[in-house]
Amino acid sequence: MPSRDDSSRLRRDAKRRGRLGSLGYHLGMIAVCAVVLYPAVWMFTSSLKPSSEIIGNISLLPENGSLDNFATALAGIGGVSFWTFFVNSVIIAVFSVVGVVVSSAVAAYAFARIQFRAKPLWFALMVATMLLPFHVTIIPQYILFQNLGLINNFGALLIPKFLATEAFFVFLMIQFLRGIPRDLDEAARIDGAGHIRVFGSIIMPLLRPAMITAAIFTFIASWNDFLGPLLYLKRPDLYTLPIALRLFVDQTTTSDYGAQVAMAVLALIPVIIFFFVFQRYLIDGVSTQGLKG
C-alpha cells in the first residue's frame, strides 16, 4: 500500500478503510515481524534448553529451562576464559572506532574544506576504493604485516583503521560536511585561525552526528569481523569472540548445541545493547547516506 505523507488524503483513506484496515495492517506487520525475529527468539530460548531439546523440538518454550549452557560457555575453551575473548574483542572494537572516526574525520576535512589542485583526482580515487573487492589487497597486506612481525598482534587489525582505509566513512563525512554552511569556518579563517584550529573547534563538533554513525557501524563491523582475526590472530589468548566461537564449535566434540548457542548469544549481547541504545542514530544514519550518496 504505497502511501504518502499528505494528511488530507490520509484522513480520507482512514475514513474509508476504518479500523478494519488498520487491524489488517498490523496483523500483517506482526506476521512479518514474527518471521523476521523468529531466528533470534529461537536462539535465546534455545540457549536455555538442554542440548537434547534443541534439535527435533520446535516448541520455543524450554521445558526444563536452565542456565547450565551459559555456565559451560563462560568456562571458555582449554583454560582460556570467555572473558579473555570478550576483552580482546572490546579492545579491538574500541581502538577501531577511535581509529576510523579520527582518521576519517581528518581526511574528510581535507576533502570538504581545503582547496587544492589535485583534490578532484584524489576524491575520485577514494570513491573508487569503495567499490574495490578486498580480495585484491588482502594477500599482500598479509605478507606485509607478516614481515613486520604483526602476526599475533592487534596492530595488523588496527593499523588500517587509523589510516582511513574504510573509504565509506570518509565519504559519509564529506557528504555531511558539504551540507553544513561554510559561514562559521570561513569567518574563523578570516579571523586568522589555522586549519587545525578550525577543524578542532568548529568542524569536529558540527560533524558529531556523522561521527556517531561511523562509530556505531565500525563497532558492530569490528565486533562481528571474522576474516581479519582469523588471518592474524593464531593464539587462543588473543582470539576475539567470533574466532573463539568457531573454536568452541570445533572443540565440543559431542555437538553440545546448547553451549554453542549460549556462547553465540553472549557474543551478540554487546551488539544488541548497541542496537537498542543507538537504533535511532543507526537507522537515520543509514537513510541519510542513501539520500546523499
Partner 1 sequence: MTTTNAPADALVERPSLRRARLRESLAGYGFMAPWLAGFFALTVGPMIASLYLSFTDYDLFAPPEFIGADNYARLLSDPQFLQSIKVTVIYVVLGTPIKLAAALGVAMLLNAKRRGLGFYRSAFYAPSLVAASVSIAIVWKAMFIDDGVVDSSLRIFGVELGGWVGNPDMTMPMFILLAVWAFGGPMVIFLAGLKQVPGELYEAAEMDGAGRLRQFRNITLPMLSPVIFFNLLMETIGSFQVFGSAFIISGGTGGPAGSTLFYTLYLYQRGFRDFAMGYASAMAWLLVIAVGLITILLFRTSKAWVHYQGDAK
Partner 2 sequence: MSAAGALVLAACSGGGDDAGGGEPGSGGTVDPDEEISLTVVWWGNDDRADRYEQAIELFEAEYPNIDIQSQFQAWPDYWTARATEAAGNALPDVFQMDLSYLSEFGTRGQLVDLAPYAGGELDTSGLSDALLASGQIDGAQYGIPQSTNTLALFYNPAIVDDLGIEPPTADQTWEEYVAWAAEAAAAGADEDPRLYGTGDFTGVLWLFVQYLVQNGHEVFTAEGDIAFTEQDVIEWLNVAQPLRDADALFPAERTVQLAPLGGFTVNEVASEFSWDNFLAGYLADSGADSLEMLPLPVPEGGERNMFFKPSMLLSAGANTEHPEAAAAFISFITNDAEVGSIFGTSRGVPATESARSQLEAEGADAQVLAYEEEWTPEITAATPVLPEGFGTIEAEWLRLAEELGYGHITPEEFASQWFAEAEIALG
Q: Which of residues 183-242 bind partner 1 (CB under 8 A)?
A: 194-195, 199, 220, 223-224, 226-227, 230-231, 241-242
Cα(200)–Cα(203) distance, rounded to whole angstroms?
A: 6
Q: Within 234-263, which residues bind partner 2 (CB under 8 A)?
A: 234-237, 247, 250-255
Query: Is 79 an interacting residue with respect to partner 2 (CB under 8 A)?
Result: yes
* Residue 20 interface partner, choices partner 2, partner 1, none, CB cut-off 5-8 Å depending on type: none
Using DSSP's 3-state secondary structure scheme, residue 80 falls into: strand
* CB 18, CB 222: distance < 8 Å: no
* CB 186, CB 168: distance < 8 Å: no
Query: Is 273 an interacting residue with respect to partner 1 (CB under 8 A)?
Result: no
Q: Which is nearer to partner 2, 221 or 230 (CB)?
A: 230
Nearest-approach distance from CB 81 to partner 1, in angstroms:
18
Q: What angle do CA 274, 276, 277 make, to 5 degrees?
A: 65
Based on the number of CB atoms within 10 Å of its own CB, is 157 exposed (0-12), middle (13-18) or buried (19 or more)?
buried
Region binding partner 1 by CB under 8 A among candidate stretches 33-41, 62-70, 74-82, 205-213: 33-41
Instruction: Sort residue 63 into left (φ over 0), alpha (ψ -120 to 50) or beta.
Output: alpha
Q: Within 157-216, which residues bind partner 2 (CB under 8 A)?
A: none
* Residue 268 interface partner, choices partner 1, partner 2, none, CB cut-off 5-8 Å depending on type: partner 1
Query: Is 81 an interacting residue with respect to partner 2 (CB under 8 A)?
Result: no
Q: Give the number of other CB atoms < 10 A from CB of residue 176.
A: 24
Q: Within 159-178, which residues bind partner 1 (CB under 8 A)?
A: 159-160, 162-165, 170, 178
Cα(46)–Cα(69) distance, rounded to whole angstroms?
A: 10
Q: Which is nearer to partner 2, 117 or 235 (CB)?
A: 235
Residues that bind partner 2 (CB under 8 A): 77-79, 146-147, 149, 151, 234-237, 247, 250-255
